[in-house]
Structure 1
């Protein structure tokens, strides 16, 4: 992702291309994000699981909420990419340029991981308000009608959260969100760069869409395995309601311990299939769009 050619791209365009790439990818994978969130909340607290697997979840949602229902929360997903992905990819590419050698040689894997963690933490803080809106909008359909929040768009969600629960509620779950982002970006950005570097060095790949696809799928698998426990803690904290003035969970550790105790250790990877098939293609599409935008800029600008 770092080269002598890429260094001529202005920083503003790096942020723009990062956000645009993430938003374009979200248009394709939003239904999988919805399924992932619903499955992570299914069986919460040891209750009955709503879905046995991803296919049942998709068919149930389609049957009860229609085709439009599988795109519930799209506006929040797009805003999340516009804030979180714009920031993290913009910061990451800027930092990569600064630490790369003058001949364009990229830094080692551990440096890439550190840069990914830094970029992810900053991006997660900026994107938390959109994240909490996305979690609530995608999980709303699993609740009884009288308990649904009924947000009509991400902007309606943000305004109502501020009005009904206070401004700082927009950053509820910021700790696990930032922690998840650190894990995701250390794994995703570093493993993508490293996988791409190894593939190109093998002599069997050229710097084209096929190489980007294979590197992204490898990156997506590594990221899914590493980040799911933190992700389920984040999802449940941001979806929880306050009952009699007390929140359902006191923090990420409380979520993880209660989840393991009532649902088993493997429940921390609940929703693995939709998570990977959401994260894998999203990673693929984001980096493909990003690489193509960079090439178009270098060609025409």
Structure 2
């Protein structure tokens, strides 16, 4: 990561990650809404006004039937989540990287250490994001229009009807989702940076970061989409006392979806997801690297 150029205090890593995360969510959020809608749709067939035949059909039906603003419904929760989420991602990756280099006696990152570090950062990040993700998923669902009046209403009704621990529904599947995505993302960033020519200019560095981040985001998305589908369904399920939810645990949920809807159903919402997290991964890395370089130059100018 860029932070290895010159070590910076934790607060700068945290702030850079937060700024990168909010920048990405503001640009790419509508794709996340479409992804969630498609993932929550069960069954193999899709026809009619309330079902979607893919990304473009979903976009057009949301805008036509619910209005353009619906593409940004629930954005408050992810914006509040993005700062701690992305900040935790990059800060944890930085801290875990140092920990593993010392543990294994390495002076530089390697491919295997990058994968291990990314997976550990993903697991750390999961504990921060689960409640925000649950609120976001429930607001993005089409049925939420008559069920919830906003973010606070989701929290209040979930806690009142299902208990406070319900805010952590889907923790296990979220752990798997973030472990797989971060391992693929940070592992690929390391590998791509080794393969492409070293940048000699600021513009060249930005281009390299876009390439590395986009490849990492794409690979991470390929790895974690099945867990993302399961997570969406687990978190959108309102638990009823005495009843076992259909989607309860990650791997059994994967098996259920594959059995009932076919293996391809595990990649529902993949196109909008990869269109968001492929380029989104590039945006994250470019903004994060740029902000870290800004902080580094600022400290050097002050003689710190």
Say whether the fold is shared (TM-score over 0.5). Answer: yes
Q: Alpha-carbon deviation of 1:230? A: 1.1
How many residues get paired?
292
Please say if 1:95 is aligned against 2:96: yes
Equivalences for 1:237-256 in 2 at 5 Å? Answer: 237-242=234-239, 245-246=242-243, 247-256=245-254
Match of 2:233 in 1: 236
Cα-to-partner distance string for 1:108-142 (whole Å, 9 max, x where unaligned): 11111111111110110121101111111111x2x
Q: Aligned in 2, Cα 1:274/1:245: closer, same or farther, shift over 3 Å?
A: same
Q: Alpha-carbon deviation of 1:20? A: 1.9
Q: Tell me how far apart the structure 2 counterparts of residues 202 and 39 of structure 1 sit (CA, whole Å).
A: 40
SS at match of 1:117: helix
Match of 2:269 in 1: 271
Match of 1:31 in 2: 30
Q: CA RMSD in A?
A: 2.5
Equivalences for 1:130-279 in 2 at 5 Å? Answer: 130-139=132-141, 141=142, 143=143, 148-153=146-151, 155-201=152-198, 208-242=205-239, 245-246=242-243, 247-279=245-277
Q: Tell me how far apart the structure 2 counterparts of residues 242 and 165 of structure 1 sit (CA, whole Å).
A: 6
Q: Tell me how far apart the structure 2 counterparts of residues 220 and 130 of structure 1 sit (CA, whole Å).
A: 21
Q: Alpha-carbon deviation of 1:217? A: 1.7
Q: Alpha-carbon deviation of 1:288? A: 1.0
Q: Aligned in 2, Cα 1:213/1:93: closer, same or farther, shift over 3 Å?
A: same
Cα-to-partner distance string for 1:135-156 (whole Å, 9 max, x where unaligned): 11111x2x286xx422413x44
Unpaired runs of 5+ residues, structure 2, are: 300-304
Unpaired runs of 5+ residues, structure 1, are: none
Return 172-181 or 222-231, whichever deviates more: 222-231
Q: Aligned in 2, Cα 1:293/1:262: closer, same or farther, shift over 3 Å?
A: same
Match of 1:294 in 2: 292
Match of 1:125 in 2: 127
Q: Aligned in 2, Cα 1:165/1:151: closer, same or farther, shift over 3 Å?
A: farther
2:162–2:240: 8 Å Cα contact kept in structure 1?
no
Q: Alpha-carbon deviation of 1:164? A: 2.7
Q: Alpha-carbon deviation of 1:205? A: 10
Q: Tell me how far apart the structure 2 counterparts of residues 297 and 30 of structure 1 sit (CA, whole Å).
A: 27
Q: Aligned in 2, Cα 1:201/1:107: closer, same or farther, shift over 3 Å?
A: same
Q: Tell me how far apart the structure 2 counterparts of residues 214 and 291 of structure 1 sit (CA, whole Å).
A: 13
Match of 1:41 in 2: 40
Q: Aligned in 2, Cα 1:82/1:245: closer, same or farther, shift over 3 Å?
A: farther
Aligned equivalent of 1:106, options 108, 120, 139: 108
Query: Could you state the TM-score of these two structures normalised by the residue count of structure 1?
Result: 0.89
Q: Tell me how far apart the structure 2 counterparts of residues 225 and 204 of structure 1 sit (CA, whole Å).
A: 32
Cα-to-partner distance string for 1:216-270 (whole Å, 9 max, x where unaligned): 1211221121111111111111111235742232322332222112211111111
